Every structure is written in structure tokens, then in C-alpha cells.
Structure 1
Amino acid sequence: MNKKDLLLFIGDSITEAGRYEDPEQIGFSYVRYIRDYMAINRPESLPTIINKGIGGNRVPDLAERWEADVLNLKPDYVSISIGINDVWRQLDSPHQESLSPEQFKEVYANLIEQVRARTNAKVILMEPTVIQENVDAQGNRLLIPYVKAVQELAESYNAVLVPTHTAFIAYLQKENHQVLTTDGVHMNTAGNMLMAQTWLQAVLN
């Protein structure tokens, strides 16, 4: 990764996190932590970073804006974080139509196929994080097949896998673990730090 590269992050509110209010349009999510780490530790190779997170998005929402927000920008790296709303809405509105893990994987695979066909971007897939800071919460149980789908897609397409769900679950099992979210889903500063650290270890190492 170098200063001529365009690194694009796309996802839901966990990625968006204040980007519209931020003059730099980066926001205050893990994306800023990643940007700041790279700016301090390797300023000579700091890429241009764009945040395209939009709150509430599910994988079909990404599909609707994929052309404008990803393909047309010709990124060199595209980092995708999606899946929480695909599951969270099942808990929030059980009768609302939602994508099965198989359908989720199919739509997601099509997005990756388009990136491969239309750009030279390296694809980075982030596991969906957590729903409630309880390893055995219903939301986390429901997330398991979606996390597995992301893992399988990373393997199938030789993408970089950022094991964010795995990291969060491991952290929540540690003694004296700290609170990571404001509401079980949206990150506080510690949660953003854990996301950023997991991303940096997977992508830069």
C-alpha cells in the first residue's frame, strides 16, 4: 500500500460513524483509527482513504450503490464490513423479510465478482462483529452462519479476511474485559480500537 493508492471502506453505521459531520468525511469509526495509525507510522506511504459507510445498510443496500460508491471510484483496496443489519433486523422485526445466510453469501459474492471484473482492487472482507456483548446472546448465535459465509468468501476469492467477530468473541471471554459498544452493536472507542487493530494485523502484516 502506498500514497498513490485509494483505500475505500464501505459498510453500515459501524463504518459510517459520523463521517457526514466530519470535515474530512472519514468519521470517527475504526476507519479513522486505521487512518491515524498509518499516518503516524508510515506517512510516506499513506493512501487516500474514503469512507462510504451508510447507517442501516444490509448487503442488498450495498448492491444498489455498488456502481457509484465502489466501481466508479476504481479503488486499489476495498474493505467491506457488512452483515450486522442483515441479522439485527431479524431480532428487531422477526416478520420482516430478511436474507438467509445462503442468500447473503450469494449477493455478497456478486459484489466481489464485480470488483474483480471492473477494477484491480484487492478485496478485504471484515467479519460482522457482534450483536450484544454476550458470547451466547441470540444475536451472536444467529450471526455464526453469516460470519462463516464471509470466511468462505474470503477463501474462495483469495481476499484478505479480517477476523473481527473472532477477535470480539475472544476478547469478551477474557477476564476484566472492557465494554466495547454503546448499545451492543455500535462501537465505543475501545470497540473501534479493537476493530482497527484486528484490521491492521490482518492487512499490513
Structure 2
Amino acid sequence: MIFQDGQKLLFIGDSITDSGRKDDPDGIGGGYVRMARDYLSIAHPAVCLQIENRGVSGETILDLHARWQEDVIALKPDWLTISIGINDEWKEVGLTKYRDTYCELLEETKKRTGASFILMETTIISEDPDDGKNERLVPYNQAIREVALQFGTILVPQNRLFTSYLREQRRRTLTVDQVHMNSTGNWFMAMNWLKACGVIKE
């Protein structure tokens, strides 16, 4: 397993990462972060990991930038998972600004913490894979893939996996409102993350 005993794993992003963490005594929330943490605890009980969630509902990459020192650099993670982009499309953060800010954050974090990165594609904004709304996310996900390649990070292809699943399983639902995950969607996200990290073998 790539994660080592005593390491700190930090997750940061928007509401899908947040998932009610401020109302959770553990500060983890009820979403994919909790499910990934619980799987790691069960599958690798001898490996003690510190899991931190710093997701905030409604945020864009620019909001992450504003709190990066406090919520990332100061915490000195060994591994940093980033899931951001849906609100950037909704709030019309320009693609160049999005990509440049993403790169700036990774460069600063690598220099000041030495953390390794796990980047996640966005999920979806409609459970209909043919809905044109999802097309608006295409350039943002392309930017994420380019940044992942540039920095040599692990990439979790959430958007492609969600689209493929929904195309094949049209009677299944992964969200409560076309965007935010139900329990199945959170497990799907967690499993995709665990597979990309090599914790679960295909």
C-alpha cells in the first residue's frame, strides 16, 4: 500500500467533500472521505493514518486559494487529495484562471510540505449521461488531467467512471439531486479513489 503508518491524508474540495463535516464529531462528514477512511481502517488495521477533511460547500479553486495556508500548508499533509471544479463551472471561473490557480497551489504545496498529490476529476451535474449540462464540465476535467500529468500525480477519473456507470446502469441513482451524492454515490467515489491509489486491486 502506498500509505504508510503515521501519515496524514488531507482531503480538500467543495460540498461533495465537505458532506456535513462540521456537524460530525470526527470532523470527517458522512461522505466519501469517511468511507475511504473506514475501508482503510478495516483493510489495514496495522496502518494508523490521520485523515483530515477540509471540504467547504460552494467553493471554487479561488476559494481554496484564499484559505490554502491555513487549511493545507499549516497542516503539512503527506498526501493531499483535491476535488474541485463543479462550482468553478457554475460560477464561471475562467478555464485559464482555474488551471493556473490549480498549478500555483500544487507548486506551493510541493515546495513547502513535500506532499504527494491525488487529483480527482469532477463528478457530474446530471445523472443523465447525455444531458448537455455535463458537457460544460469537459474542459475543466481536461484541465485536471493535464495538471495531473504535469505534476505526476495520481488521477482519479471520477467523471469518466460516473458517466460509464450511469450509461450502463440507468435504473441506479448515485445522487440525491443530480449533484450531491447519496450513500451509493459516496461509496462509488470512495471505491474509485481506493482503486486509483492501489488500495483495492482491479
Amino acid corresponding to residue 172 of structure 1 in structure 2: L
Q: Aligned runs of 1:12-161 on 2, under 5 Å?
A: 12-89=14-91, 98-161=92-155
SS at match of 1:173: helix
User: How far 1:134 sits from its partner (Å)?
Assistant: 1.2
Amino acid corresponding to residue 125 of structure 2 in structure 1: I
Post-superposition CA distance 1:18-42 (Å, at most 9, x none): 1111100001010001001001000
What are the ranges of 5 or more consecutive residues in structure 1 without an aligned counterpart? 90-97
Normalised by the length of structure 2, the TM-score is 0.94
SS at match of 2:118: strand
SS at match of 2:46: helix
Amino acid corresponding to residue 181 of structure 1 in structure 2: T
Amino acid corresponding to residue 127 of structure 1 in structure 2: E
- Whether 1:196 aligns to 2:190 is yes
SS at match of 1:20: helix
Post-superposition CA distance 1:141-181 (Å, at most 9, x none): 00000000000100000011011111100001104541111
Deviates more, 1:42-51 or 1:140-149: 42-51
User: How far 1:2 sits from its partner (Å)?
Assistant: 2.0
User: How far 1:73 sits from its partner (Å)?
Assistant: 0.8
In 1, Cα distance between equivalents of 2:184 and 2:42 = 19
In 2, Cα distance between equivalents of 1:32 and 1:133 = 23
In 2, Cα distance between equivalents of 1:64 and 1:151 = 23
Deviates more, 1:136-145 or 1:7-16: 136-145
Identity of aligned residues (%): 44
RMSD of aligned C-alpha atoms?
Answer: 1.1
In 1, Cα distance between equivalents of 2:115 and 2:76 = 7
Match of 1:165 in 2: 159
Deviates more, 1:52-61 or 1:173-182: 173-182
Q: Could you say if the C-alpha distance between residues 69 and 111 of structure 1 is closer, same or farther in structure 2, counting changes exceeding 3 Å?
A: same
In 2, Cα distance between equivalents of 1:13 and 1:29 = 10
SS at match of 1:136: coil
Q: What is the number of residues matched between the two proteins?
A: 197
User: How far 1:112 sits from its partner (Å)?
Assistant: 0.6
In 2, Cα distance between equivalents of 1:14 and 1:86 = 14
SS at match of 2:67: helix
What are the ranges of 5 or more consecutive residues in structure 2 without an aligned counterpart? none
Deviates more, 1:115-124 or 1:170-179: 170-179
In 2, Cα distance between equivalents of 1:74 and 1:119 = 5
